[in-house]
Structure 1
């Protein structure tokens, strides 16, 4: 086929002329209207493919009120867990015909408020948001107009959809796994000074519950304090405990980065993993799978989190206006060489 079109941007009319159909028929195929015959759909698609036509998103938004885009707002793009979640949500969006716009808030309260105040209104059809600072009541008061699904533990308003794992149960499972290996002096790395995240609080709660259930006396010295979230901060925290003569035979870490810090600090202190000390990370990120020794880790179902978040968001974007749905996604304990 030859359209005889002029050079430049391919237009809807060019596709219609090449296919020998009306512009309305081409539009119906692009928007996947069901009342188009298979023969006509194939004919129009062949013309689209030959011309390399791409729909004008501005025109699409005006015609349908939809952009085909969703926003993903996360605290840090370079944190392993959030990077992997962004990939899974991007893949999930792609399977449903959406593209994602990724935004980094850096846990700044004003940046998080801007997400809730519909900064992306008109640019995206919905938002998946992992807040760190903004709390439950503030989100409820702001009443975001763009469809919204929350991830994480920081905020759970009753009128907003929310997806997370049971952090307290996961921490209990982690400690119980370590104790089944004969460990009784389980340290927690780390309680970070100035930590604003609810996840650490919930994980510490599960840590204590497991020890009490096992009849192990709580020792506050085993909750190791770190000045920050970096690898160096974690190494200093565990090295300080070793230097102070605090004895422990296992470490439950709040994330895989702290677990890597534990491996380094224990090595510097002359302790072997897992012979002397078992180490359990959290998030089961790539560094857990490829570290030496391979890191055992609490593993949230990240694909499940992404799929559930997108399912709820699609229902919101389709018009669901009920109260918030709060969903718990499974977790597991992946044991490798460090336990």
Structure 2
């Protein structure tokens, strides 16, 4: 920058004003500086400039596992939203390990990132007090609630209830769930089971206990294995409500392996509206949880918290923690095209 100033015959401060878009400069002064920048092929060191302002220009997105398709697609949506605000996203994978998730909250991220978007899985409600941190943080997911930080989540209960009501409206009566987690603590699986069960109860129906099988994860193979166990138990479902699309796609393979046709013999619906769900055979009906909106809201909230911190606004004068519950959409596709002649 000093060389640019010498070439243009101005002060270093004037060059800085030009680079930062300061409006109150004489046109001829700005032109001389711009000419010097081009002649010297000068490029701003963005990292150094940001550090000088007390910021890095980077945020962390901490997720359980990118192997989970939903999380991979969420990461893509977050990166696109962050780029609109000139923020770089670094992705950290915790592999559901408690110690790695705790490290996110110990302050070690503070010097590397302006803020953190955090979706824990190994931590739970008993750990809520640990989220009282001194750096900008926005919570995602369903493991921890009311932790004193901004939280963006989806309509798990209502979405699962809508999925279940959809197959009931098509005439299904032996409806089985797929995706209740082994762990009974708060999670997307337990919340979606709550919505599933409420829909059955409202119609005077109950789920066959043999079909309530806990799952360790939400991967395709788990969906296939669990669906096989349900069929082997003697349950003969006419509809399956899977709590993720990946479980549903695994179940689809298992149903077909057992000679059951979807949707002719068994209706099948998932949750998440991942891209793969529209390319299965048949295409999968699902609940769209509003992933793009979740990303937009989370990035916007984090950017606001970062600005407040950089501006030195005392914590007690900042807005109270906000909880944003994003709405869902029922996506009807061929996997619930109708049972016993019912229309979609």
Question: Are 2:132 and 1:143 aligned?
Answer: yes
Find the counterpart in structure 1 of residue 122 from structure 2: 133
* Structure 1 pair 205–38 and aligned structure 2 pair: CA distance change class (3 A): farther
Find the counterpart in structure 1 of residue 271 from structure 2: 282
Alpha-carbon contact 2:8-2:33 (below 8 Å) kept: yes
SS class of match (1:235): helix
**What is the 5 A alignment of 1:254-273?**
254-273=243-262
Find the counterpart in structure 1 of residue 171 from structure 2: 182
Q: 1:57 aligns with which of 42, 47, 69?
A: 47
Shift of 1:15: 4.6
Alpha-carbon contact 1:132-1:197 (below 8 Å) kept: no
Shift of 1:23: 2.8
Find the counterpart in structure 1 of residue 319 from structure 2: 322
Question: Are 2:86 and 1:97 aligned?
Answer: yes
**What is the 5 A alignment of 1:133-282?**
133-141=122-130, 143-194=132-183, 198-226=187-215, 228-282=217-271
Q: Deviation string for 1:19-75 (max 9, x for gaps)?
A: 6654323323444455557887787667667726142413531x2111111111110
Alpha-carbon contact 1:133-1:196 (below 8 Å) kept: no
Shift of 1:217: 2.8
Alpha-carbon contact 1:88-1:303 (below 8 Å) kept: yes
SS class of match (2:179): strand
Q: What 5-or-longer segments of structure 1 have no aligned partner? A: 1-11
Q: Deviation string for 1:190-209 (max 9, x for gaps)?
A: 33435766111100100000
Shift of 1:136: 4.0
Find the counterpart in structure 2 of residue 332 from structure 1: 329
SS class of match (1:318): helix
* Structure 1 pair 18–88 and aligned structure 2 pair: CA distance change class (3 A): farther
Q: TM-score, normalised by structure 2?
A: 0.86
Q: Deviation string for 1:251-290 (max 9, x for gaps)?
A: 1111111111111010011100011111111111121122
* Structure 1 pair 74–216 and aligned structure 2 pair: CA distance change class (3 A): same
* Structure 1 pair 181–99 and aligned structure 2 pair: CA distance change class (3 A): same
Q: Deviation string for 1:164-195 (max 9, x for gaps)?
A: 01201111111011112221211111334357
Task: Supply the distance in 1 between the matched residues of 2:21 and 2:90 (Cα, whole angstroms).
Answer: 23
Task: Supply the distance in 2 between the matched residues of 1:78 and 1:19 (Cα, whole angstroms).
Answer: 53
Count of aligned pairs between the two proteins:
327
Task: Supply the distance in 2 between the matched residues of 1:145 and 1:163 (Cα, whole angstroms).
Answer: 19
Alpha-carbon contact 1:128-1:151 (below 8 Å) kept: yes
Shift of 1:222: 3.0
SS class of match (1:149): strand
* Structure 1 pair 39–298 and aligned structure 2 pair: CA distance change class (3 A): farther
Question: Are 2:17 and 1:28 aligned?
Answer: yes
Find the counterpart in structure 2 of residue 5 from structure 1: none
Task: Supply the distance in 2 between the matched residues of 1:287 and 1:272 (Cα, whole angstroms).
Answer: 19
Alpha-carbon contact 1:137-1:157 (below 8 Å) kept: no
CA RMSD in angstroms comes to 2.5
* Structure 1 pair 325–189 and aligned structure 2 pair: CA distance change class (3 A): same
Farther-moved stretch of structure 1 (180-189 vs 48-57): 48-57
* Structure 1 pair 107–227 and aligned structure 2 pair: CA distance change class (3 A): closer
Farther-moved stretch of structure 1 (89-98 vs 179-188): 179-188
Shift of 1:227: 5.5
Alpha-carbon contact 1:187-1:224 (below 8 Å) kept: no
Task: Supply the distance in 2 between the matched residues of 1:45 and 1:75 (Cα, whole angstroms).
Answer: 47
